Structures are given as C-alpha cells and as structure tokens.
Amino acid sequence: MLFPPSLDDLIPEDHLARIVVDAVDQLDMSAILANYNQEGDGRSAIDPAAMLATLIYAYAHKVVSSRQIEILCQEVVVYRWLSGQTEPDHATIARFRSRHSALFQDMFAQVLDMVRRYGLGQAGTIALDGTKLKGNAALDQNKTLKAITKELTEAAQVRDLAENGKFGKKRGDEIPKHLRGSENRRRRLEEAKRQIEAEQQARAAVQEEKIEKREAEERQAGRKKRGRKPKPPKPEPEPDAKANVTDPDSRILKTRQGFVQGYNAQAVVSLDQVILAVDIVQDANDQKQLLPMVMKAQANVLRTASEGAAPEIKAFLGDAGYHSDANLAGLEDLGVEGFVPSKKTWRLRQELKEKGRPRGRMRKNMTRTERMERKLRTVRGEKAYKARGRTIEPVFGQIKHGLYSLTRRGLDAAKADWALLCLGHNLKKLWRAKAAA
C-alpha cells in the first residue's frame, strides 16, 4: 500500500502524539530558539519544536536512548510524523537534548500549567516519595582515592614516555593516537578524585560548624559542656574514600532488589496522580528532601492560581523516610498539615492493634513526633495516610515500567531526563482524561 499524500492522515485525532504537538505549540520556546542562528545563513536546522515533540513522545514511552529514537524516526510512522520526516540522527538528537537540558524543568512546569487548567492535578493533598533510578554506571567502577591516584600517576608516566618517544625534547601539540582513547578515562578519574575531595571539604565544613557552635555555647554559659568534644576535621580525604569513575555524580543506593549505581528521583504527586514537582538528588536518604520538594510544588501550583489566592496545598503525605521534628515544624510554618509517621507502615498497623484509637484529651507537653503518632492512630489520620500508597507508588510503577536505566551521565543530565519522563507522564494523564471526556 502507498502512503497517503500526508502522514497526518495516518495519525488518529485522539492519538497521544497530537496531544504532545498541541502542548509543544503552547510552550514558551524563546530560550530554545535563542540558541539558533536567526540570520538565515549556514546549514538549516531541524525545527526545534519538532525535535522537542519527538523527544517528549519518546520519553513518554520510556525510550531514552538517542540511537533508539533515531531508528524509530526512520521506521515508525508516528515518529516520522512528529519529526516532520527529517529523520534526525542520534548525534543531532543527543546534541539537542544536551544543549537544552537546563530548560526541561521549566518545560515540565509549563506542561503542568496546561494539565491543571484542564482540571487535573488539584493539590489540596499531596504525596511525596523517592525512587532509585539506575544510572549509566557500573557498581564495580567505584574506586578508592588511593587507586584513582595510582592510576592517574601511572597514566601520566605512560603518557610522558610515549610523548618523549615521539617528540624527543620537542613539545607536541597533540596526544599520541594510541593514548587518545584513554583521555576520557583520565578525565573521569580526575572528576572522581574532585568529587571525593569536595565531599571531604563539605564534611569538614559541617564539623567546623559543630565545633564553633559548641565553643560559642560554652562561652555563653561560662563553662565546658558535658560530653565528648567534636574532633577537628581532617583536611584531606581518607585513602579508602570511594567514587565511581564511570559517572562520578552517581551514588551507591540500596533498593529492594539490591544495590544500584544511580540517583534518588523525587516526585510530588496529587491525589489524581498528576506530578506537581520533580527533582533528582544524590542523597540515599529522603529526609532532607521534604521541605524543598513541598516548596517547589507550592511554586508550581501558584503559577496557575489567581492573584492573591491562598496556597492550595493543605495536607502532605510522606512515609517514615521523611520524618523528623524539623520537617514537621517546617510544614507547620508553611501552613501544611503533615501526615508523616516515624515508623514503617506495618509498625503503624501493629501499634494501632496494640494501643487502639486514642481517647480523651491530648496530654500537655507532647513532642511533635508524639502528636503525629497519636494523630495517625485516629480514624481521620489513618484514612488520610492510607491515600499515600495508592497515590504515589502507582506513578513510580507507571514511569519505571520498561525503563531499565538512565542513559546519560552526570547529575544535570539525570535531572533533565527525570523532568522529561515526568512531563511525559503528565501528558499521558491529560490524554486519557480528554479521551474519557
């Protein structure tokens, strides 16, 4: 059979690709267009709107490899239609994605505006959780500082000998061909070494702050404090400190299936499973992410709120990984009621079975944690917290189904890819809502 005169005839009106194109048409793409030559000279570029639509559609289907996208643009009708039959190669796709990575968080927020204007993503109650994403790095490529330093030293010696053999006493302008392949390895080793040193400096700064705080308290009290005095920080990292030489930004993270080398992906979700805020962090622990993610969600929600309107977010649901007294106090300051247990869900059920529902007045001088534990044993508290599992966990299941790992290396690339994956998820929610209307 011959193709019709226009591929447009092959794409149904209710197809997800049309929702993607409509969304891209409404985006503010001035920041992307500013990177293109507006003079009209030089080689013509592929339409950036077509490139972005192709990328979003691919990520909505968990296709994150530029080589796979290239093949799809050659062989699959919907991708040919999205790309305007330009058949971009993987290098062009990779360059476009890399050049505009910093803009994808804002693109996510713009698409969220469209979804919320349709009536989805109502944020009265929000849920936050994190999921571990495997990066493009291997666990066995975690090397100690001692091993990294040794390899860098040996590589430098080999390089010097090779250059002396080629150039003698003269200075060569280029690296010998047989050593060029090792340059990427050397750069990654140096970056891993910098990561270890930077982490040690951060730990040293925290330790110095503890010491200064203790000394200030002792001066104010006029006497020495009890307990062990914090040790002065070591200026240099330990020789056994490790970093990954494939992707120094990635971290070793524990999952239910074992350890992975990757990143901790965070998402704030509404009760109808629309993602309101996203981020990628290196921390294995979720605790420090609560307040930044809630504030990011508030900022995104306020984009579509009428001027002078009160913050829409009223309640927050988070598991025990986000619990701390400081986090509960922070939620109070934001005017958001928290449902954040200090124990795992199975322990909450066990405690309810043993203690029953709370009765009588709340006793005075209870800590925030004690008040939270009491609230979660009430009918209202139990019902509110139960909504967390059916809100956030299916979202991660939908996004990660078929997604083996991230393909790009580095924290900034991981943040951009997670934003695109979540943007695609929200557009699929909008598409299904329109189809059901």
- Model confidence at 172, pLDDT cuts 50, 70, 90, reads very low
* Contact predicate 338/318, CB 8 Å: yes
pLDDT band, very low/low/confident/very high, at 404 (cuts 50, 70, 90): confident
- Residue whose token pair is 């001692």: 146
The CA-CA-CA angle for residues 12, 68, 73, to 5°, reads 40
Q: What is the pLDDT of residue 162?
A: 59
pLDDT top residue among 422 and 304: 422
Structure confidence by residue, pLDDT tens digits, 260-296: 999 999 999 999 999 999 999 999 999 999 999 999 9
What's the pLDDT tens digit per position in 147-170? 888 877 876 666 555 555 555 554
Taking residues 119-125, what's their average pLDDT? 91
- Angle made by CA atoms 270, 273, 277, in degrees to the nearest 5: 55
Residue-wise pLDDT tens digits, 132-150? 999 998 888 888 888 888 8
Alpha carbon distance 89, 232 (integer Å): 55
- Please count the other Cβ atoms lying within 10 Å of the Cβ belonging to residue 102: 12
Scan for tokens 């193709």, then name that residue. 3
Find which of 6-15, 218-227, 233-242, 368-377 is predicted with most confidence, using mean pLDDT.
368-377
Amino acid letter, residue 81: W
**Domains located in the chain, CATH noted:** 7-99 (no CATH), 118-137+250-410 (3.30.420), 141-244 (no CATH)
Q: What are phi and psi of 351, to 5 degrees?
A: -65, -40
Torsion, Cα of 210, 216, 220, 221 (10° steps): 40
Two tokens, residue 207: 């330790």
- Which pLDDT score, from 0 to 100, does residue 37 have? 66
Q: What is the Rg, in whole angstroms, of the alpha carbon atoms belonging to the chain?
A: 26
pLDDT at 397 over 60: yes
Q: Considering the entire predicted model, what is its pTM? A: 0.84
What is the structure's pLDDT at 38? Answer: 63
- Here the tokens at position 161 are 């000998």
Distance CA 139, CA 19 (A): 39
244's tokens? 């990954």
pLDDT for position 309: 61
Residue 320 CB contacts under 8 Å (≥ 6 apart), including other chains: 340, 341, 342, 343, 344
